[in-house]
Chain A
Amino acid sequence: MRIFDPHIHMTSRTTDDYEAMHQAGVRVVVEPAFWLGQPRTSPASFTDYFDSLLGWEPFRAAQYGIAHHCAIALNPKEANDPRCTPVLDLLPRYLLKDRVVAVGEIGYDSMTPAEDLALEHQLQLAADHGLPALVHTPHRDKPTGLRRTLDAVRASELPVERVLLDHLNETTVKEAKDSGSWLGFSVYPDTKMDEERMVAVIKAFGTEKVLVNSAADWGRSDPIKTRRVGDALLDAGFDEDDVDLVLWRNPVAFYGLSGRLALDVTAPDATHEGNSILRGGE
């Protein structure tokens, strides 16, 4: 089973996770820029973070045979902090880079006017840079948030076919699907979606444009939930082609809209045995 995790925060994960992911079949990941738990207070800490997403993290991933890409953005939570919003002016130079395959995560958290501005601005950046957008839908007041998100997308220059609406669930999938967007589902141990509910949603709504991710981060989450969903689909009678569509071809097609997806891993020169990460550095 080949797996493309279209949303995972590897910066927060260990090398054990990379190893387990590779063993489970994960070969490509996209790491969207998000918040870090601890709020940031200046644009400089964003740029260090973005540099890491384009430097250290792909290097780490490559050592485990995983091709790492990223999405760059100011996330909705921190869009509310005027100390952070100047990072919006720094985004264009990042959105040019190789391996940046989307603008994201953007969207709503609390649906404030500041979030409206950041979302509108960054949808325009996506359109200007030929990139698709990964749009987070809010966890609180979700159906209202989805509608407001779709309104923002429709008012923007970015076609809805270049938008992946993420963290969908039973209450939002139908409206999202009717919009023509790509459909993202985050499968978590406790919250968001689980494997069985995911199978039920796919039974009801089909596999077309459906992407499943672990959204694993620094919270309670599991980086091989993608594999668990693949197994659950097979157990439920879906065939290998269905699983390949959801776990590989759909994310390849969506992020391939960027023209920047490189599915090969360029292994660093260092041997595995000699490698600084496996050895824990000096």
Chain B
Amino acid sequence: MIHHHARATPAAHPARTAPAELRGHLNAHLAGAARAWLGRALDEAADHPGTHGPISVWELRLAEAGRRCGPEHADAVRVLILHAARADTDALTRVYRQGTADERRAVLHALPHLVPGPDALHLVEDALRTNDTRLVAAALGPYGARRLASHDWRHAVLKCLFTGVRVDEITDLARRAHGDSELARMLGDFAEERTAAGRPVPEDLYRVLALTAPPPADENGIDGKES
């Protein structure tokens, strides 16, 4: 079997979409055999979340999700398998460490659905140390947006601008950037450095810079509104 996958229509974002809705989206888009495979994989994961022998059965399914359902659906499928298996931080860490880049990305997408506290932050930090832009973007999903410390978050935003990750990928960008004068300074310095080198400043930089502006005096105290 050789896969020639057509480019997919924009899928539901696997980190920002509730698992039930992701499932509905996949059921509507997967072909019959892939849909049946997914149904079995989710049932198995729900019934046998623990390890049987050297590897749990849902981890096998996680590894083969791309070739079973197509790379365009693999992220969502993997998030659903992790969710069905109720993977905790230890399991997510193991899967991330033993995973391909695609599997690691799926773990990052699954964090907001599975980890209520800050325990999995080390995975986000690991992803931000890579130069794989797909991992960097996934690290800045809802979990990273909620949990990253200010310093790390600002560097991550800057890294997106450096590496060409669209800032639309950053969850809650407007809320976190709002009134962040340190981020504004870093963006300004970066723009200056680029200008001094005669190189173009990324368009997105000015968008983020505008978001850092403090609110007009009469709106002070209103937090969390996206402008």
Interface residues of A (CB under 8 A from B): 51, 54-56, 58-59, 92-93, 96-99, 252, 256, 259-264, 266, 268-277, 279, 281-282
Name the B residues within 8 Å of A266 (CB-CB).
Answer: 71
**Would you call B137 and A262 a contact (CB within 8 A)?**
no
Name the A residues within 8 Å of B102 (CB-CB).
Answer: 98
**Would you call B2 and A252 a contact (CB within 8 A)?**
yes
**Would you call A276 and B67 a contact (CB within 8 A)?**
no
The smallest C-beta distance from A114 to any residue of chain B, in angstroms, reads 24
Selected contact of B1 from candidates A96, A259, A277, A281, CB within 8 Å: A259
Selected contact of A270 from candidates B54, B60, B163, CB within 8 Å: B163
Q: What is the interface of chain B mostly: helix, strand, loop, or mixed?
A: helix
B25 contacts A by Cβ under 8 Å:
no
Name the B residues within 8 Å of A275 (CB-CB).
Answer: 133, 163-164
**Would you call A92 and B202 a contact (CB within 8 A)?**
no
Name the A residues within 8 Å of B65 (CB-CB).
Answer: 98
**Would you call B100 and A54 a contact (CB within 8 A)?**
yes
**Would you call A262 and B71 a contact (CB within 8 A)?**
yes
C-alpha spacing A35/B104, complex, angstroms: 26
* Cβ proximity bits B63-98 to A, threshold 8 Å, 1 near / 0 not: 111110001001000000000000000000000001
C-alpha spacing A55/B1, complex, angstroms: 23
Name the B residues within 8 Å of A282 (CB-CB).
Answer: 159, 162
**Would you call A98 and B132 a contact (CB within 8 A)?**
no
Name the B residues within 8 Å of A97 (CB-CB).
Answer: 63, 100, 103
C-alpha spacing A266/B98, complex, angstroms: 22
Name which of B4, B98, B100 has the most chain A CB atoms within 10 A of its CB.
B100
**Would you call A98 and B100 a contact (CB within 8 A)?**
yes
C-alpha spacing A274/B200, complex, angstroms: 10
17 further contact pairs, Cβ within 8 A, besides A98-B66, A262-B67: A93-B54, A93-B63, A93-B98, A96-B63, A256-B2, A262-B3, A262-B66, A263-B3, A264-B3, A264-B4, A268-B132, A268-B133, A270-B163, A272-B164, A274-B162, A279-B163, A281-B131
Residue of B with least CB distance to A51: B100
Name the B residues within 8 Å of A261 (CB-CB).
Answer: 2-3
Name the A residues within 8 Å of B20 (CB-CB).
Answer: none
**Would you call A262 and B101 a contact (CB within 8 A)?**
no
Residue of A with least CB distance to B159: A282
The smallest C-beta distance from B159 to any residue of chain A, in angstroms, reads 7
